[in-house]
Structure 1
Amino acid sequence: MQENGQTPCEQLIPYLMGEGNQEERQVFERHLSVCPSCAQELSELKETWTAIGLQDDEQDVPADLKEEVMLGIFGDSSVSPEPREAPSRFVPVQVPVRRSGMRPLYSALAGAAAAAAVLLALYALGPAKESGKPAARIAGPAEIVKSYTLKPVDGLHNAGGRATVMKRDGGNEIVVELQGMPPTQGDQAYQVWLLKNGVRYNCGTLVTDEKGSGILTYPVKQENLSFDGIGVTLEPDAGGTQPRGRKVLGTG
C-alpha cells in the first residue's frame, strides 16, 4: 500500500480500497488515531460507498443494447465485437469534481460516489414499469475485484492514476482515479477506454480540478467482465466514440 514519496494522508484511498498487507494497514490505522482530518474523510467516504449499495430493483438491460455494446467485451465470446465504433445511444458519463475543504482527490471520490448512486439507480431502473410498483430489493455491498495502475506516457512524470473493478449483484463498476494530470482547456476532456481484442470501448469522460485530480465511476450490468487493458486520452471534447486525442495514461 505504501508507495515511495507518499505521505501517510495519501494512503487513505488505498486503505479504503482494501490494499496493503496487515502491517501497512495497521500503520495507517495508527495514523488515523492522530489525524482527525483523515478519520473524518474516511468516515464520509465509507458512507457514500455504502449508499451506492442501496438501490431499487434492477430491470434487465434491453437485449439489443447488450448485443451492441456489452457482448463484445463482457459476454459471449462467440459474438463478434462489431460494430467497432460505440453506438450513439451509449452516452458517456461525465462526473464533475466537487470542490470543497477536503483534499481534491478525496473530495472527488466522495462526490463521484454519491453521483454514482444516482446514476446506478437510473441505469438499473430504466423506463418506468407499467405496473407502477417499485420493487423493494436491496443490493448487496460492492466487492473489490482488481486494481490497476495507470502509468503516464509521453513524459508526463507527475501524472498517474488507478482503475478499480468492483463487483456487486451480478454486475460490475469501474472506478477510475486520476492524479497530477495537465489541466484541460476549453472543451477538452479526459476520456477512458477499455481495450478488448484491439477494439476500444468508450467508458465516459471526466474533467479534473485545478490540481489535476478527478474520478469517473462507470457501471457495467454484466457479470463476466473481461478486457485487455485500460487507457486514458486527452480529447478535444467529450463527444467522441473513438479516440481522437493523444494517449496520456494506460495499463501497459
Structure 2
Amino acid sequence: MTHDPHDLTGPYVLGALGDTERRRFERHLPRCAACADETAGLRETTTWLALAVARRPPDRLRGRVMAEVARTRQSPPPLGRRLPSPRTGGLSRLAAAACLVLALIGGGTTWHFHRSAEHAQALNRQVTAVMTAPDAYTSTARTRTATITVVSSRSLGEAVVTTARLQRLPPAKTYQMWWLGPAPPRSAGTLTPSGEPRPLVTTGLGNAQRFGVTIEPSGGSPQPTSAPLLTLALG
C-alpha cells in the first residue's frame, strides 16, 4: 500500500517505515519544506521525551524531614502578640525547621546535581543538533532481545544511539559499537544498558556505511572479536 508522503513524517522519525517507503519519503523530503520542518520538530520532540525521565524522590527523604520536624519544639507565640499574617511573609518554626532539614539533606547533593544538570544540558544540545540536522538519517534494528535506533548526520560526523530492552551482560563483557565499511571496523565506543531509553552521542562517523554492535571483553577491543548482534545502514 502506498501512502501520501505528507502522512509519513511520524513513522519516518520513529523508524517505522519499510525500506521502500523510507526511500520514497527521503526522496520527497528535500523537495517539501513543510515535511522537512515537521520532521525536524518531531525529532526534537522525541529527543526530549527520551531524555525526560521522571524520578520519584526516595521514600526515606519524607521520613527524615518529618522526624526532624517532630524533634523540633514549636514555641507558642507570646500572649498579647498577634500571629504573623501570611501577607507579611512570616514563617512558622515548623516550616522553618522543615526548610532547614531539606537544605541540609539537599546541600550534600547540590554540587552533584549541578554537574549532572550541566552534563544533561550539553547532551541535549548534542542530541538536538544531530536529530535536527538537514541530513539526519534514521535507522532501526530489532532483535528478540533489543531495539536499537541510530540517527546519523554525516555533516556533523556524529550519531545518536538509543537502545531499548538491551540485556545486561556479565561484568567481564560489554557491548561495543562499531563503524563498519568500507575501511576496517572502527570503534564507536561501548554501550551500557540502562533499563531506560537514553540517547548516546557517538562521533567519528566518517564514511562508514553501517553501524554494528558486538559483545566484547570488558573495556572493549581494538577490533571485533565476535559477530555483530545487529547492523544498521547509515545514510
Same fold per TM (> 0.5)? Answer: no
Larger Rg: 2
> Normalized against structure 1, the TM-score is what?
0.41
Greater RCO between the two (CA within 8 Å, min separation 6)?
A: 1
